[in-house]
Structure 1
């Protein structure tokens, strides 16, 4: 079992359903949500409770169920209500703020290590096409996307990007580094750049090595044409584990969203869930 995460069997045995928002997590999310004033004239139907709607969003994220099949008996609201709330909260920057908040708490608990980072990517099928898709070279040219991920030394996700399935991994190396937010949590300067970065042969390009060094980061990238066994795997395995955790959330295994911003919202929310589960081990 990967650290900070439970397997499906463990979730089944637990009384807590994974899509039910825990009190500790809700205490962190609620202040980030935009306040919606109810109209006094023609107020219409009462707005559904934000926490219940968030449970519906997480239900879709965990199970991969289509929005229209969201069970009404669970009182999450309709699939369209949950979709709109996910869109609105994403546009308001809620998920990004949450992902900056939780790493800061992890740093305060001494659970964040910026001495090194690792990057990798994963292909997924894009069933409806849309932006950030392309013919996947590993899936017989079918339309797909890629998740690109950078993690710190313990495998905690720092940033994730979405591209077409035909994009070369190395093209996302600099965007991933630039996407890492400044992480506070302690007095002094926030953490912003890891000291070393590890990557596989897909990132082997001297031009990009030079660009990484401009960020005062030392690149350790396996060379093409050399035998396997470079020794970098002892540092790189954490990013492969983090990708596995993201894809344990079934909505992230296959891209069903035509809109790339909605899929990005799911990815950012998934990163926050990994951070929250790791943070709980410090309580």
Structure 2
């Protein structure tokens, strides 16, 4: 095994999750292709610069785009989560946060059919993307949403929560609701707290200073302060560690891919290997 390649244990974890091709001519081995794709995104290099030992760069790119567009990586991630949930290895104390990713100039280009390139936003730091993510108590991604870097965190909270979907291996509906949600002050809003309460989801989100002042100014009409468990809130740092692990992939720490679905597939692949 070379650097940035799949270990035997990782390959044995991923092999049953890959789609099987039973028709057509013999194609390049899936492990070789996956090693090339992983090498590309771990190093952040261009497709044409991937070493020849992984086969033609065109084959790697074609296979990656096919798996990205048909949802293969997403199904593999769901299957890995289903395995862990069936074994009782998911701690459903979920932490949610976001991270900003700088977009390289290769991720930006001319408009196509009058549409701007999606999931890019212009802010003070230039063109960026943002990953809104929810992870379990062990820091493994459960669901994420990709937006422009100038998107406010609280506007994507429900989308991130709805991205959590751990299927059952046997009969039964998928697990959608966490047992508890941890979030920072960016998610402190009445709408988010109401959304969580209606679904019976406990949460620990600190109140912003301006919200405290407004509630104190209204007196008894301001209501009671939201319940806040300081000790439980200390566990929220797992989502920061999750982002740190994802950004060890240079192709994720900086966005080089122009299509949003390609960058999203790269984040999904990195998330999948965290479950492996």
TM range (shorter): 0.7 to 0.9
Whether the 8 Å contact between 1:160 and 1:267 is mirrored in structure 2 is no
| TM-score (structure 1 length as normaliser) | 0.79
Q: What are the equivalent positions in structure 2 for 1:162-201 lying under 5 Å apart? A: 162-184=146-168, 190-201=174-185
Could you tell me which runs of 5 or more consecutive residues in structure 2 were left unpaired when the two chains were aligned: 109-116, 213-227
- The alignment status of 1:149 with 2:133, answered yes or no, reads yes
Q: Is 1:124 matched up with 2:108? A: no
Q: What CA deviation, in whole Å up to 9, does each residue of 1:108-155 have, x standing for no partner?
A: 4332111x2110110111122331000134x2xx00000111011222
Which residue is 1:280 aligned to? Answer: none
Structure 2 counterpart of 1:209: 193
Partner of 2:270: 270
Distance 1:136 1:26 in 2: 42
Aligned length: 249
Shift of 1:47: 2.9
Q: CA RMSD in A?
A: 2.5
Separation in 1, partners of 2:229, 2:199: 24
Shift, 1:271, TM fit: 0.6
Whichever of the two has the greater Rg, that structure is 2
Aligned to 1:7: none
1:70: which partner in 2?
Answer: 50
Cα 1:220–1:230 change in 2 (3 A) is closer
| Structure 2 residue aligned with 1:32 | 18
Gaps of at least 5 residues in structure 1 are 1-14, 40-45, 277-283
User: What is the 5 A alignment of 1:45-56?
Assistant: 47-56=27-36
Contact 2:162 2:176 in 1 (8 A): no
1:222 counterpart = 2:206: yes
C-alpha distance 16-76 of structure 1, shift in aligned 2 (>3 A):
closer
The answer to whether the 8 Å contact 1:144/1:165 transfers is yes
**SS of equivalent residue, structure 1 residue 271:** helix
Q: 1:151 to 1:31 in 2, by over 3 A?
A: closer
- Say if 2:10 and 2:273, in contact at 8 Å, map to a contact too: no
Mapped contact 1:63–1:251 kept (Cα < 8 A)? yes
| C-alpha distance in structure 2 between counterparts of 1:240 and 1:27, whole Å | 26
Q: 2:121 aligns with which of 134, 138, 141?
A: 134
Instruction: Please give the per-residue CA displacement for 1:158-192, whole angstroms capped at 9, x wherever unaligned.
Output: 01111000000011110111111134357866432
